[in-house]
């Protein structure tokens, strides 16, 4: 009993990546290592290291590079290690209180160079002519000099080129840590089990696990380090992907989801009555989703489609399918404006059917709210569109069969779970307009099936994008005016000030009054921000969509989903404050009708990446290209801007740089899980055991 508990605990703690698959011997306390006593063990415990495995998995965060190169090959400012003989008496000068400079000449092979040491006056006593010393520092090519970071008396400390540097705490030193790990490797290195069968290692020429762990700590060369990393990254990604694929298999086999069944003619009629014909991509994703819904598996699908690719109508079609099968559907969106718009679009689309669509947000109150809640519970409402209001406890469904979330990355795992659990294993579809880079899609969303709308409705013109500096603002306003005179409308989005809605609002108010002044009342300028009540917001949006307002000054509340096809100009003020994904979203508000649209970025970015972002925006309108760039510029951690995104953390792998390995590992994992050999052959026993230990096979969920 007790054993079981501790196993569960350790499983949780190590769930990110169980590195050395399940080897009991390595799970002994570090004191089992000869040479590590109680005192050291206590110090290590302070650092979270208790077992031998944990010690071996304490990976260097960098390496001291002792590689000795011929000085002729070292670039200016590059770090260099040299061993040489002191060739002149060191001279010491003080140039300020306690600031000193020590210089001497050093003979390195056939080169005579200068060594400069700052603020280490005591070295003067220790150095004498002809002494052999090792110097690590920055190479100044022009002056043929090294500014020393480290100076050691004596020859190169080891013949090893790379020396591991560990993060340490308390009484543990880096040197000590090197020694402990050396002891652990010497006594227990052999006990490291390789979970990868030899056949797999051969295929990719991967070094063994034992070799890799040794080399990641004490690499004999850069090449060896590279091979060790490659091997460990592959294993890490493979285990991660195996878990995902095994989980999917288990879920498919055991899930008692809903097998939706409906008359296809009715659905065809509905599609035929739409004001446009579906794009090929829309047809394909509808088919994918419906197939999933008809199967008894519980659908868990991500629908990706760039802004304007037409996800709403796809949602409508599959919601209709759910209703035709006798179930209710729910569509959850992140903002009230979006909820209202979606409710309106769906009501329009379903006008010719007997499907009832209701809107539920926190501003639906009193009697109306009570009514909707009752009708949801007894099933007279077929489809409900709403915000977080949908996951309140008071909301109950009679028979919820399909849950859709729009802009799904805005919701946390927990919120999606609550909504899901309002039905009996309903099918789940998550929509997103943030094109997720492939890299992230297969890590963060690996456990889902993915459908992609990769085609825009015909006749869409690309939004022309320009980047201008602030001093050109008046010309931008004149350009806007020309468009307005053609009967078009414009958005002006105001700077985003992080963490301060109040400042955002103030900005919008300022820009609004500036425009009112500039156009001297010729046009109606609307103002939209998060401090307005939802009635006020709705009124402004309504006025804008009916062209009673020609220019809408707004904070980023219009970012998602808003649809006013007559708007052709999107001006984004201080555009450098926005991320690429967000700029792309904003740009997606125009170019929704037949007219040529424009996006104007006003920005004076100071940093190079800021400039780079502006350039990329003007160069491409492809959301996937943008998202890949965004990922490269910002890194995966920042991409979604939230910890809830479910991005796993890897110890060795980097989803951006090691993308190729990730892709290979994913394909391998998918094939393995489907093969009979994997579930039977002895060579896969460790991988199978790993899956057992991580709880995937007894149906535990990843999220
Ligand atoms: P998003 O994917 O950004 O949510 P929407 O669903 O809002 O996009 O669709 C954008 C616009 O394109 C809407 O006005 C919608 O009516 C229109 N639309 C959707 N599908 C098509 C199509 N196949 N042909 C023409 N217009 C379409
Ligand atoms: Mg949308």
Reported as a single tens digit per residue, the pLDDT across 57-100 is 999 998 887 777 788 888 888 888 888 999 999 999 998 888 99
Nearest one of 457, 399, 409, 456 to 433, comparing CA atoms: 409
Q: Is the pLDDT of residue 498 over 80?
A: no
**DSSP symbols for 10-75:** HHHHTTT---STT-GGGGSBGGGSTT--HHHHHHHHHTT--BHHHHHT---SEEEE-----GGGPP
Nearest one of 428, 459, 451, 434 to 284, comparing CA atoms: 451
Read off the pLDDT of each residue in 334-355 and give the average, rounded to a whole number.
90
560 Cα–ligand 1 center, Å: 14
Measured in degrees and rounded to the nearest 5, phi and psi for residue 373 equal: -60, -40
The domain 1-61+172-192: what is its CATH number? 1.10.150
pLDDT attached to residue 496: 67
409 Cα–ligand 2 center, Å: 13
pLDDT attached to residue 643: 40
256 Cα–ligand 1 center, Å: 34
Q: Is the pLDDT of residue 334 over 90?
A: no
Buried b (16+ CB within 10 A) or exposed e, 466-476: ebbeeeebeeb
The residue whose CA is least distant from atom 20 of ligand 1 is 310
Position in ligand 1 atom list of the atom nearest CA 592: 11
312 Cα–ligand 1 center, Å: 7
Read off the pLDDT of each residue in 390-403 and give the average, rounded to a whole number.
91
The residue whose CA is least distant from atom 5 of ligand 1 is 310
453 Cα–ligand 1 center, Å: 11
Nearest one of 437, 453, 450, 21 to 248, comparing CA atoms: 450
pLDDT attached to residue 567: 94
Q: Are 683 and 672 in contact (CB under 8 A)?
A: no
pLDDT (tens digit, 9 = 90+) per residue, 164-218? 999 998 899 999 999 999 999 999 999 898 999 999 999 999 999 999 999 999 9
103 Cα–ligand 1 center, Å: 72
CATH classification for the domain delimited by 67-153, as one of 1.20.1250.20, 2.40.50.140, 3.30.460.20, 3.40.50.150: 2.40.50.140
Neighbour-count burial of 623, counting CB atoms closer than 10 A to its CB (0-12 exposed, 13-18 middle, 19+ buried): buried
| Between 436 and 53, residue with greater pLDDT | 53
User: Kind of pairing, strands 62-65 and 162-165?
Assistant: antiparallel
Position in ligand 1 atom list of the atom nearest CA 277: 23
Domains of the chain: which residue ranges? 1-61+172-192, 67-153, 264-453, 464-620
pLDDT attached to residue 185: 95
How far is residue 237's CA from residue 658's CA, in Å, rounded to a whole number?
A: 10
506 Cα–ligand 2 center, Å: 28
The residue whose CA is least distant from atom 26 of ligand 1 is 457
The residue whose CA is least distant from atom 9 of ligand 1 is 310
Which bound ligand lies closest to the C-alpha atom of 331?
Answer: 2
Helix (H), strand (E) at residue 112: strand 111-118
| Between 414 and 142, residue with greater pLDDT | 142
Position in ligand 1 atom list of the atom nearest CA 309: 2
pLDDT attached to residue 66: 72
406 Cα–ligand 2 center, Å: 7
Residue among 283, 302, 311, 313 to mutate when testing ligand 1 (max atoms within 8 A of CB): 313
Residue among 308, 315, 343, 429 to mutate when testing ligand 1 (max atoms within 8 A of CB): 308
Alpha-carbon 404 to chain mean position:
22
CATH classification for the domain delimited by 464-620, as one of 3.30.200.20, 3.40.50.300, 3.30.56.10, 3.40.50.970: 3.40.50.300
pLDDT (tens digit, 9 = 90+) per residue, 612-624? 889 999 999 888 7
Position in ligand 1 atom list of the atom nearest CA 459: 25
Q: In what order do the strands lie in the sheet with 525-528?
A: 464-468, 598-602, 567-573, 489-493, 551-554, 525-528
pLDDT attached to residue 698: 63
pLDDT (tens digit, 9 = 90+) per residue, 437-496? 766 666 666 667 888 898 888 877 889 999 999 999 999 999 999 999 999 999 999 876
310 Cα–ligand 2 center, Å: 7
Q: Ligand 1 — pocket residues by CB below 6 A?
A: 276, 278-279, 282, 305, 307-313, 433, 457, 563, 592
Position in ligand 1 atom list of the atom nearest CA 406: 4
Q: Is the pLDDT of residue 327 over 50?
A: yes
Nearest one of 305, 549, 340, 308 to 430, comparing CA atoms: 305
Which bound ligand lies closest to the C-alpha atom of 303?
Answer: 1
Rg of the chain over all Cα atoms, to the nearest angstrom: 32
The residue whose CA is least distant from atom 10 of ligand 1 is 308
**Which 8-state DSSP code applies to residue 494?**
P
pLDDT attached to residue 561: 55
Helix-, strand-, coil-residue percentages of the chain, each rounded to 5 = 45, 20, 35
pLDDT, the chain, mean? 85
Percent of the chain with pLDDT over 70: 88
pLDDT attached to residue 641: 45
Read off the pLDDT of each residue in 101-105 and give the average, rounded to a whole number.
95
pLDDT attached to residue 502: 67
123 Cα–ligand 2 center, Å: 68
Beta strands in 374-459 (DSSP E): 383-386, 400-405, 427-432, 449-453
321 Cα–ligand 2 center, Å: 19
- CATH topology identical between 264-453 and 464-620: yes
Position in ligand 1 atom list of the atom nearest CA 311: 2
Entry pTM = 0.65
How far is residue 389's CA from residue 631's CA, in Å, rounded to a whole number?
A: 32
Which bound ligand lies closest to the C-alpha atom of 285?
Answer: 1
The residue whose CA is least distant from atom 19 of ligand 1 is 310
Read off the pLDDT of each residue in 602-612 and give the average, rounded to a whole number.
89
pLDDT (tens digit, 9 = 90+) per residue, 228-280? 999 999 999 999 889 888 887 877 777 778 899 999 999 999 999 999 999 99
pLDDT attached to residue 549: 95
Which bound ligand lies closest to the C-alpha atom of 306?
Answer: 1
Q: How confident is the model at residue 532 (pLDDT cuts 50, 70, 90)?
A: confident
Q: Is the pLDDT of residue 377 over 90?
A: yes
**DSSP symbols for 166-203:** ----TT--HHHHHHHHHHHHHHHGGG----S-HHHHHH
Neighbour-count burial of 252, counting CB atoms closer than 10 A to its CB (0-12 exposed, 13-18 middle, 19+ buried): middle
Residue among 271, 272, 303, 310 to mutate when testing ligand 1 (max atoms within 8 A of CB): 310
63 Cα–ligand 2 center, Å: 48
305 Cα–ligand 1 center, Å: 11
Q: Is the Cα dihedral 368, 374, 377, 383 positive or negative?
A: negative
CB neighbour list of residue 579: distance below 8 Å, 6 or more residues apart: 613, 630, 634, 641
User: Kind of pairing, strands 400-405 and 427-432?
Assistant: parallel
How far is residue 138's CA from residue 116's CA, in Å, rounded to a whole number?
A: 10
Nearest one of 461, 421, 255 to 330, comparing CA atoms: 421
CB neighbour list of residue 4: distance below 8 Å, 6 or more residues apart: none
Residue among 312, 458, 566 to mutate when testing ligand 1 (max atoms within 8 A of CB): 312
How far is residue 97's CA from residue 387's CA, in Å, rounded to a whole number?
A: 65
Angle at 305 between CA 318 and CA 261, to 5 degrees: 15
Q: Which CATH architecture has domain 264-453?
A: 3-Layer(aba) Sandwich (3.40)
Residues in the chain: 703
pLDDT attached to residue 7: 32
| Between 506 and 467, residue with greater pLDDT | 467
Position in ligand 1 atom list of the atom nearest CA 565: 14
The residue whose CA is least distant from atom 15 of ligand 1 is 310
């Amino acid at each position: 009993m007790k054993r079981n508990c501790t196993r569960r605990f350790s499983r949780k703690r190590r769930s990110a990546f169980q590195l050395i698959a399940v080897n009991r011997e390595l799970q002994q306390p570090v004191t089992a290592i000869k040479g590590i006593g109680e005192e050291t063990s206590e110090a290590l415990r302070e650092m979270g290291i208790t077992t031998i495995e944990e010690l071996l998995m304490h990976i260097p965060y960098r390496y001291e590079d002792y590689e000795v190169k011929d000085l002729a090959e070292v670039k200016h400012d590059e770090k260099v290690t040299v061993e040489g003989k002191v060739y002149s008496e060191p001279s010491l000068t003080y140039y300020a209180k306690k600031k000193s400079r020590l210089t001497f000449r050093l003979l390195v092979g056939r080169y005579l160079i200068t060594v400069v040491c700052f603020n280490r006056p005591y070295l003067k006593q220790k150095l004498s002519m002809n002494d052999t010393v090792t110097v690590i520092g920055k190479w100044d090519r022009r002056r043929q000099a090294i500014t020393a970071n480290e100076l050691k008396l004596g020859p190169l400390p080891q013949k090893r080129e790379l020396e591991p540097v560990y993060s340490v705490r308390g009484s543990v030193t880096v040197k000590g840590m090197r020694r402990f790990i050396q002891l652990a490797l010497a006594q227990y290195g052999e006990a490291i089990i390789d979970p990868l069968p030899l056949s797999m290692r051969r295929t990719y020429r991967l070094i063994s696990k034992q070799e890799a762990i040794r080399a990641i700590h004490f690499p004999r060369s850069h090449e060896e380090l590279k091979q060790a990393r490659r091997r460990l990254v592959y294993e890490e990604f493979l285990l991660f992907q195996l878990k995902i694929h095994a989980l999917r298999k288990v879920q498919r086999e055991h899930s008692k989801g809903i097998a939706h069944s409906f008359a296809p003619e009715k659905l065809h009629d509905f599609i035929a009555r739409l004001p446009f014909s579906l794009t090929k991509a829309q047809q394909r994703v509808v088919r994918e989703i419906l197939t999933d819904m008809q199967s008894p598996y519980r659908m868990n699908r991500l629908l990706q489609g760039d802004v304007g690719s037409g996800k709403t109508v796809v949602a409508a079609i599959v919601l209709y399918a759910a209703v035709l099968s006798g179930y209710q559907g729910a569509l959850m969106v992140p903002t009230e404006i979006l909820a209202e718009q979606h409710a309106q679009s769906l009501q329009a689309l379903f006008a010719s059917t007997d499907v009832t669509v209701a809107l539920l947000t926190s501003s639906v109150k009193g009697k109306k709210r009570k009514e909707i809640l009752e009708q949801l519970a007894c099933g007279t409402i077929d489809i409900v569109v709403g915000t977080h209001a949908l996951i309140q406890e008071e909301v109950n469904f009679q028979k919820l069969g399909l849950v859709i979330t729009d802009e799904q990355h805005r919701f946390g795992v927990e919120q999606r779970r609550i909504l899901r659990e309002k039905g009996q294993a309903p099918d789940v579809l998550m929509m997103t307009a943030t094109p997720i880079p492939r890299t992230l899609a297969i890590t963060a969303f690996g456990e889902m099936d993915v459908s992609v709308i990769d085609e825009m409705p015909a006749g869409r013109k690309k939004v022309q994008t320009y980047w201008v500096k602030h001093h050109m603002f008046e010309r931008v306003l004149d350009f806007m005016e020309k468009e307005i005179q053609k009967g078009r409308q414009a958005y002006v989005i105001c700077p985003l000030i992080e963490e301060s809605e109040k400042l955002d609002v103030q900005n919008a108010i300022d820009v609004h009054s500036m425009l009112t002044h500039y156009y001297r009342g010729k046009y109606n300028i609307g103002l939209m921000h998060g401090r307005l009540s939802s009635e006020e917001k709705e009124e402004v949006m309504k006025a804008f969509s009916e062209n009673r307002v020609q220019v809408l000054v707004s904070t980023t509340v219009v970012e998602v989903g808003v649809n006013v096809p007559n708007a052709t100009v999107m001006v984004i003020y201080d555009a450098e404050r926005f991320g690429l994904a967000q700029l792309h979203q904003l740009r997606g508000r125009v170019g929704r009708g037949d007219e040529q649209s424009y996006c104007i970025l006003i920005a004076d970015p100071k940093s190079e990446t800021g400039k780079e972002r502006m350039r990329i925006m003007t160069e491409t309108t492809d959301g996937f290209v943008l998202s890949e760039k965004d990922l490269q510029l910002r890194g995966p951690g920042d991409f979604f801007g939230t910890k809830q995104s479910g991005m796993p953390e890897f110890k060795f792998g980097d989803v951006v740089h090691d993308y190729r390995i990730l892709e290979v590992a994913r394909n391998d994992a998918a094939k393995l899980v489907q093969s009979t050999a994997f579930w039977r052959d002895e060579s896969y026993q460790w991988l199978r055991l790993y899956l057992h230990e991580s709880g995937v096979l007894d149906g535990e969920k990843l999220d």
